[in-house]
Amino acid sequence: MASKFEAYDGKVVFYTTFNTLESLIVREAIDAAVPEHKEFPSGSQIEAIYANFRSYMSNTADIEFHLDKDDDDDLREFKSFWKTAKGNTNWAEVWKSFRKQTTLDIHNIWDDATDVAIPRRLLANMDLQPSAPDDEELERVGEKNALTPETT
């Protein structure tokens, strides 16, 4: 089931998932179509942008746009990008389009949208993850209380 995330006052609505079988297959397909990713310098901006691209494309089920004629040009370009990208399996073409049409602000919002789908227990400190409570428990007792070790 996809998580819903609204941005830009509801003008853009993301539907995102987290590590589904399909998303793993999409990541492999992207890597096969963009072999130059292996040559990106470790820690470079291009490596980070490519990692974001893989995450966005593999974990985004859909994006809805509710734009008015006077809305920002960046949002219009993003809508155009998504129209080209959605359902397109020519990942080399989508990667090229992604680099040209999405702004840093949109990347930041898309990060937020994909983060919504990550189960909160996986965001816990690494020391707590093995015994971290599931999402239902976090909601029941509150995130801070559930992730704080009991003191006796």
Within 8 A by CB and 6+ apart from 97, the residues are 81, 84, 85
- Cα–Cα distance between 85 and 70 in angstroms, integer? 24
Residue 16: how many other CB atoms lie within 10 Å: 25
Buried b (16+ CB within 10 A) or exposed e, 88-102: eeebeebbebbeebb
The neighbouring-strand residues paired with 16 are 3, 60
User: Residues 26-35: pLDDT tens digits?
Assistant: 999 999 999 9
Higher pLDDT, 136 or 47: 47
Does residue 141 have a pLDDT over 70? no
Extents of the domains making up the chain = 3-118, 119-152
